[in-house]
Structures are given as structure tokens and as C-alpha cells.
């Protein structure tokens, strides 16, 4: 890569997109995977409630970390739009709309976690409930939170389809990244649909379909785009 390419504005845009994407990962993973794995015991309301009360700081930090992770997704699609719109403005706009539909759902869904904290706060008005009743309600709101994630996941899945298509057709990014992003879209969708239609059936295929979502941001951050091909695309779409 030449010094000219490194200084090119669109190269900086590509790296900014990669940086935002990568930066969101640890925040989202901490709130979505790590904290629940340490606190929630499926099917055991009493132990789960006890874990939350014993590790309230960890539970709260999971909420904050998750919300911070989602904040990056407000800026990220706008940067990606600038990068990918020369390929197809309509598909680039669709990409932005789909992820922007997921973000408010993800934010509002955290009310369920806040409800859990209120139930375990020991407030006087809660003394009318027995301990097992409070624990059951805690489990209810945790399950409701999982359902909310499933709703948001529909849009998180779908935004990868136009993005993958744009990457595939771009000419300034490797086609394989576009293919992997579209595979990730369908992988997430299959799991989400199975989650709603067959709640007792465990369908897990994301462990290999998410590869595109890992490789794509790191490619943008480290390699960027083929500036010459991007400029050619930009002239064609002008």
C-alpha cells in the first residue's frame, strides 16, 4: 500500500468502519455472553436471583457494556454507507435502515434487566411478594429479555444481507467477505426462527456462520479497500 493510499479519505473511512466494528465486539460480548454465563442458571430461579444479588455490580456492568456496544452501531452503518454507496445506494440505504431498526429494540429490551434489579432491590412495596414469587418474576423478565434479543436479532441478521451483497459486488473488497457475511445472515436467521418456532429445540449453527462478521471488520481495519477500484466505482455511480 502506497503512502497516497494511506492518506486517501476513503481509506480512512474504511479503517474507521473497521475500528468501530471491532471496538463494539468486547462490549457486546461482555454484556451478552460473559455476564449471563456467570449469573444465569437456566431453570433455577432461586440460584439465579441469588447470583444477581451477590454480583449486582457485574450484572449492572453487563447492562452498561451492552448499551455501549450498541451505541457503536448508531455510527457504524453511516460510515459503512459512505464506503459502500458507490456500489448501490438503494442497497446501502437498506443496510442502514435494517440495523437502525435493531438498535432501539436492543435499548428498550434492557428495561427487562432493570426490572430484575427492581424486583431484587428489597423495596418496601415488594414485601407483599414471597421470595419464590420474586424469584419467579426475575426469571420471567430474564426470559422476556431473551425474547427481545430474538426480535432484535431478526434485524441484526437481515442487515448483513445487503452489506454482504455490496461487499461481494464492490470490486474494492474481497468477494469472499461478502459471501461470508451473507452466510452469517442466513445462519443468524435460521437460529432466530428456530428459537421462536421451536423453543424447546436447540439449534446452534452460528459458531461457524459468524466468521464473516469477524473477518470483515478486521480486514477493513488492517487492509482497508482498494482505493483505485473504489474511486472507479464512485465515478461510475456519480
Find how far residue 20's CA is from the centre of its chain: 12
Burial (Cβ within 10 Å: 0-12, 13-18, ≥19) of residue 134:
middle
What are the tens digits of pLDDT across the range 139-191? 999 999 999 999 999 999 999 999 999 999 999 999 999 999 999 999 899 88
Supply the pTM of this predicted model.
0.89
Mean pLDDT of the chain: 92
| Contact between residue 202 and residue 190 where contact means Cβ atoms under 8 Å apart | no
Domain-wise residue ranges, the chain: 3-153+213-237
CA angle (72, 222, 208) in 5-degree steps: 70
Give the pLDDT confidence score for residue 195 in this predicted structure. Answer: 87
Q: Is the pLDDT of residue 5 over 50?
A: no
What's the DSSP call for residue 30? Answer: I
What are the tens digits of pLDDT across the range 19-49? 999 999 999 999 999 999 999 999 899 999 9
Give the pLDDT confidence score for residue 201 in this predicted structure. Answer: 74
What are the tens digits of pLDDT across the range 58-106? 999 999 999 999 999 999 999 999 999 999 999 999 999 999 999 999 9
Amino acid at each position: 500500500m502506497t503512502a497516497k493510499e494511506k492518506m486517501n479519505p476513503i481509506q480512512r473511512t474504511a479503517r474507521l468502519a473497521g475500528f468501530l466494528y471491532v471496538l463494539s465486539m468486547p462490549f457486546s460480548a461482555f454484556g451478552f455472553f460473559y455476564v449471563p454465563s456467570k449469573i444465569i442458571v437456566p431453570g433455577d430461579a432461586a440460584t439465579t436471583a441469588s447470583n444477581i444479588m451477590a454480583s449486582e455490580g457485574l450484572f449492572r456492568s453487563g447492562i452498561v457494556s451492552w448499551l455501549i456496544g450498541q451505541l457503536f452501531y448508531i455510527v457504524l452503518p453511516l460510515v459503512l454507507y459512505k464506503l459502500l454507496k458507490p456500489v448501490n445506494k438503494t442497497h446501502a440505504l437498506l443496510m442502514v435502515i435494517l440495523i437502525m431498526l435493531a438498535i432501539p429494540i436492543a435499548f428498550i429490551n434492557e428495561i427487562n434487566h432493570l426490572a430484575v434489579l427492581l424486583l431484587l432491590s428489597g423495596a418496601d412495596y415488594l414485601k407483599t411478594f414471597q421470595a419464590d414469587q420474586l424469584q419467579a418474576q426475575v426469571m420471567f423478565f430474564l426470559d422476556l429479555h431473551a425474547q427481545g434479543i430474538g426480535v432484535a436479532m431478526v434485524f441484526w441478521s437481515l442487515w448483513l444481507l445487503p452489506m454482504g451483497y455490496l461487499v461481494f459486488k464492490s470490486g474494492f473488497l474481497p468477494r469472499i467477505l461478502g459471501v461470508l457475511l451473507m452466510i452469517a445472515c442466513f445462519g443468524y436467521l435460521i437460529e432466530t426462527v428456530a428459537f421462536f418456532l421451536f423453543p424447546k429445540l436447540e439449534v446452534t449453527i452460528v459458531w461457524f456462520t459468524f466468521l464473516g462478521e469477524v473477518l470483515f471488520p478486521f480486514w477493513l481495519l488492517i487492509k482497508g479497500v482498494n482505493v483505485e477500484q473504489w474511486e472507479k466505482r464512485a465515478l461510475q455511480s456519480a
